[in-house]
Chain A
Amino acid sequence: MSETTENPIREAIAEAIRDHEVILFMKGTPERPACGFSARTVAALEATQAPFAAVDILPDPRIRQELSALSNWPTIPQLFVKGELVGGCDIVSEMYESGELAHVLGVEPPADAPDEAPKAAEPGAPPLQIDNNLVDRS
C-alpha cells in the first residue's frame, strides 16, 4: 500500500514542491496576504522580481498540518526553492537584505532594490491576522 492513497494531501504538497522551482506556502494570496509575515515574505520575493508559485494554506487546516509534518517547520509562510525549504519570513528577509535571496532564486538583484527588506507589517500596527485555522474565516 502506498502513501499516495493514504495521505493525498501530503502527496499533493510534495508534488507541488517538486513541480515548482520556487513555491511559497502562505496565509492568503500574494495579492491579498492574510498575515503580516506572509505579506512581508511576498514583498521580499516580489522585490527580487523572481517568479514564484504560491499556495494559500488557509482553506483547509490539513494543508498546514501536512506541510509542517513534511518540512519539520512549524510556522507559515514557508519558502521552498528547488525542493528545499529555504525558510520563513525571518530567514527570507535576512537573505533579502544580504543579497543572498536573489542568488538562491537565480536572479540578479534589481539595481533599484532597497537594501532593507520591504516591510509589509510593522509591529504595533493593526493586529497581524494570524490564526490557527480553527476558526471559521467566512
Chain B
Amino acid sequence: MPTTDELRQRIETAIPGAAAQVIDLTGGGDHFRASVVAPEFAGLSRIEQHRRVYAVFGPDIGGPIHALSLETRAE
C-alpha cells in the first residue's frame, strides 16, 4: 500500500526541483491529494502540469493509487 511519504518522494525524484505535499484523503492508503510546486511547470497549462505528475505514477493511477487529487503551480 503506497504511503504519503512514498508518493512525495516519487514526485520529488521524478520532477527536478519539485516540492510536494501529499495527504491521505481517507486514511485508507489509496485516495491521495498532492500539492506540487515545480519550476518546470512554468508556461505549462494546468492540464499539462497535472499530466506531468500523473506520468510519474503511470499505471499505478487506477491501480494501487485509486485517486490522486492534484494542485500544481510553478512557484
Contact for B50 among A87, A124, A131, CB less than 8 A: A87
How far apart are A71's CB and chain B's nearest CB, in angstroms? 10
Query: Are B71 and A75 neighbours in the complex by a CB distance under 8 Å?
Result: no
A127 close to chain B: CB less than 8 A: yes
With a CB–CB cut-off of 8 A, which chain B residues contact A131?
66
Query: Are B31 and A85 neighbours in the complex by a CB distance under 8 Å?
Result: no
With a CB–CB cut-off of 8 A, which chain B residues contact A123?
25-26, 33
A51 close to chain B: CB less than 8 A: no
Main SS at interface, chain B: mixed
Query: Are A73 and B54 neighbours in the complex by a CB distance under 8 Å?
Result: yes
Query: Are A74 and B62 neighbours in the complex by a CB distance under 8 Å?
Result: yes
Given A74-B54, A123-B26, A127-B26, does the pair A87, B67 have CB atoms closer than 8 Å? no
Q: 0/1 per residue, A46-70, Cβ < 8 Å to B?
A: 0000000000000000000000000
Stretch at the interface among A9-17, A89-97, A109-117: A89-97
B57, closest chain A residue (CB): A74
Q: 0/1 per residue, B46-75, Cβ < 8 Å to A?
A: 110011001000000111001111110000
Query: Are A90 and B66 neighbours in the complex by a CB distance under 8 Å?
Result: no
- Tell me the chain B residues, 14-55 only, with Cβ under 8 Å from chain A: 25-28, 30-31, 33, 46-47, 50-51, 54
With a CB–CB cut-off of 8 A, which chain B residues contact A91?
46-47, 50
Q: 0/1 per residue, A70-86, Cβ < 8 Å to B?
A: 00111100000000011
A37 close to chain B: CB less than 8 A: yes
Query: Are B46 and A94 neighbours in the complex by a CB distance under 8 Å?
Result: yes
Contact for B66 among A85, A86, A94, A130, CB less than 8 A: A130
Query: Are A130 and B67 neighbours in the complex by a CB distance under 8 Å?
Result: yes
Query: Are B47 and A132 neighbours in the complex by a CB distance under 8 Å?
Result: no
